[in-house]
């Protein structure tokens, strides 16, 4: 299990790469509409707590699985001792391929909206919403626009990934992540200066009531934390395999949670106060960014500039996480076949493009595709990764990977929390989601 494998060039570069892959569209696109849907401050506070209590040890676990086996999910579960681990790995490989397809399509939407903001400057008629898939049926214009933009996104990912970890992924993360963060902060500051924005800030962060912390809110917060941190037995397993042997796993785990959660909170401050300032509806769902924020930017002085900056920032966030997704797939092929890295990049890019086609048709396909290959399968993969490390790996090897690089021994209760607590929580959320969202039992509790 000591196969030669490329590692990060530096700790800073490794941290920025891992944080970059976890900071995706889930923060700027998904987090604000989840906050709106689930009632503001109660969701935000519980999500932040869960990101620390579950996110840090779960990230350490996935890093440990990847570093111990020096493999991505295809190979890591088998080497980790999980029964039928080889088949589990290939199953998660397919899940990531399907998820990367529709995720690349969404990034294509963002790219088109950014172009739309530039068109405002040139006074060119431009309907950015034309790229969005219809609720039902088939619209040729939407489908063709999505084809073009998705192809551009996947090609942009391939150009970076083909250069490898150090000269490709790590390098672009060091450049894009700080720029993306700076732009989001600038938009946040502009949003907070709008008349009436403080009402949104109070609702978003300060108006906490225990009565609002319902079972639905808690389950949604836990599920979103898993989604947002890119847990799922795939991304973080691959990036764990690139960590140096003497790296203390708690460090990248804590920094990932800090960067990930901080980015979510900043994104919320960039969106929610503006929604209140313009008397819009915070619970408008996934379309909060794409259908309401262009109206917000249009009503601002120099709105085209703020809109362009915002969507460019959103594109950067999605782009880094999309690179991470394709890297999972490339590592799966190069680890387990004789295919060269370059060929693996083009093969998996083509596969992602093909699997992007079905959800492009309409939202009746897109939404269940997202729930299945995004939220549902990602939670299952995270559960399997925790079980593999805590139950299937040799106990001393697991402890050595998780805690061995520290100067002081980590309390054993942390290992027991990983072994018993996290699986129970993830299973509980999964069962609750099935009962409420699939079987419609206890819905609205």
DSSP 166: I
Model confidence over 199-216: pLDDT tens digits?
Answer: 999 999 999 988 888 888
Q: Which helix (H) or strand (E) holds 142?
A: helix 140-161
Counting every residue written for the chain, the total comes to 445
Q: State the pLDDT confidence band at 353, using cuts at 50, 70 and 90.
A: very high
| In the predicted structure, residue 18 carries a pLDDT above the cut 80 | no
pLDDT digits (tens, 9 = 90+) for 242-284: 888 888 898 899 988 998 899 889 989 988 998 898 888 887 7
Domain boundaries, the chain: 11-438
- List, in sequence order, the alpha helices (H) in 162-302: 171-192, 197-201, 215-228, 235-240, 250-277, 293-298
Q: Where are the alpha helices (DSSP H) in 70-170?
A: 73-79, 85-121, 140-161
The reported pLDDT for the residue numbered 2 is 42
Percent of the chain at pLDDT exceeding 70: 87
Q: Is 1.10.4160 the CATH number for 11-438?
A: yes
Residue 122 CB: number of other CB atoms within 10 A? 8
Nearest to 183 by CA among 321, 29, 294, 308: 308
Cα 319 to Cα 29, 91, 251, distances in angstroms:
13, 24, 24
Judged against a pLDDT cut of 70, whether residue 444 lies above it is answered with no
pLDDT at site 117: 79
421 C-beta neighbours (distance < 10 Å), count: 16
Mean of per-residue pLDDT scores for the chain: 85
**pLDDT, tens digit, for every residue of 67-76?**
999 988 889 9
40, 1, 7, 3: which is closest to 276 by C-alpha?
40
What pLDDT, in 10s, does the model give residues 378-436?
Answer: 888 999 999 999 999 999 899 989 887 555 666 788 899 999 999 999 888 878 777 77
Cβ burial of 66 (10 Å; 0-12, 13-18, 19+) is: buried
pLDDT for the residue 22: 66
**Chain position carrying tokens 């689930």:** 38
Contacts of 244 (CB under 8 A, 6+ apart): 7, 8, 11
Give the residue-averaged pLDDT of 68-90: 93
Rg over alpha carbons for the chain, rounded to the nearest Å, is 21
| pLDDT score of 7 | 61
Which pLDDT score, from 0 to 100, does residue 290 have?
77
Answer yes or no: are the C-beta atoms of 308 and 114 closer than 8 Å.
yes
d(CA 168, CA 54): 31
Which of the four pLDDT bands, split at 50, 70 and 90, describes residue 29?
A: confident
- 305-352 residue pLDDT tens: 878 887 887 788 788 788 888 888 998 898 888 999 899 999 999 999
Cβ atoms of residues 313 and 28 within 8 Å: yes
């Amino acid at each position: 299990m000591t196969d030669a494998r490329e590692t990060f060039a530096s700790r800073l570069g490794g941290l920025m790469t891992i944080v970059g892959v976890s900071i995706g569209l889930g923060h700027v696109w998904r987090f604000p509409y989840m906050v709106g849907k689930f009632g503001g401050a109660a969701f935000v506070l519980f999500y932040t707590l869960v990101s620390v209590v579950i996110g840090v040890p779960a990230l350490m676990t996935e890093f440990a699985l990847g570093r111990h086996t020096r493999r991505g999910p295809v190979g890591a579960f088998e080497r980790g001792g999980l029964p039928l681990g080889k088949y589990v790995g290939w199953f998660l490989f397919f899940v990531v391929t399907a998820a990367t397809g529709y995720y690349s399509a969404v990034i294509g939407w963002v790219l088109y909206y950014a172009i739309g903001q530039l068109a405002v400057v040139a006074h060119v008629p431009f309907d950015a919403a034309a790229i969005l898939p219809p609720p039902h049926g088939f619209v040729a214009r939407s489908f063709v626009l999505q084809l073009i933009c998705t192809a551009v996104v996947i090609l942009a990912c391939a150009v970076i990934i083909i250069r490898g970890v150090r000269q490709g992924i790590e390098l672009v993360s060091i450049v894009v992540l700080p720029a993306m963060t700076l732009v989001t902060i600038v938009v946040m500051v502009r949003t907070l200066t709008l008349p009436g924005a403080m009402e949104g800030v109070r609702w978003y962060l300060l108006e906490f009531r225990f009565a609002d912390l319902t079972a639905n809110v808690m389950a949604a917060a836990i599920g979103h934390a898993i989604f947002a941190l890119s847990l799922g037995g795939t991304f973080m397993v691959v990036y764990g395999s690139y960590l140096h042997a003497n790296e203390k796993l708690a460090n990248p785990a804590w920094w990932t949670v800090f960067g990930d959660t901080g980015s979510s909170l900043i994104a919320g401050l960039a969106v929610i106060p503006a929604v209140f300032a313009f008397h819009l509806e915070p619970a408008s769902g996934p379309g909060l960014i794409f259908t309401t924020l262009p109206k917000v930017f249009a009503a601002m002085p120099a709105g085209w500039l703020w809109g362009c900056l915002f969507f460019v920032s959103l594109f950067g966030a999605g782009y880094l996480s999309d690179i991470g997704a394709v890297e999972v797939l490339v590592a799966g092929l190069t680890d387990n076949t004789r295919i060269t890295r370059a060929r693996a990049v083009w093969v998996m890019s083509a596969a992602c493009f093909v699997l992007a086609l079905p959800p492009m048709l309409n939202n009746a396909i897109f939404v269940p595709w997202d729930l299945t290959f995004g939220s549902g399968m990602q939670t299952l993969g995270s559960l399997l990764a925790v079980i593999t490390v805590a139950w299937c790996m040799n106990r001393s090897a697991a402890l050595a990977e998780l805690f061995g690089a520290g100067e002081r021994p980590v309390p054993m209760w942390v290992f027991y929390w990983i072994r018993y607590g996290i699986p129970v929580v993830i299973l509980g959320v999964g069962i609750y989601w099935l009962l409420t969202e699939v079987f419609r039992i206890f819905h609205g509790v």
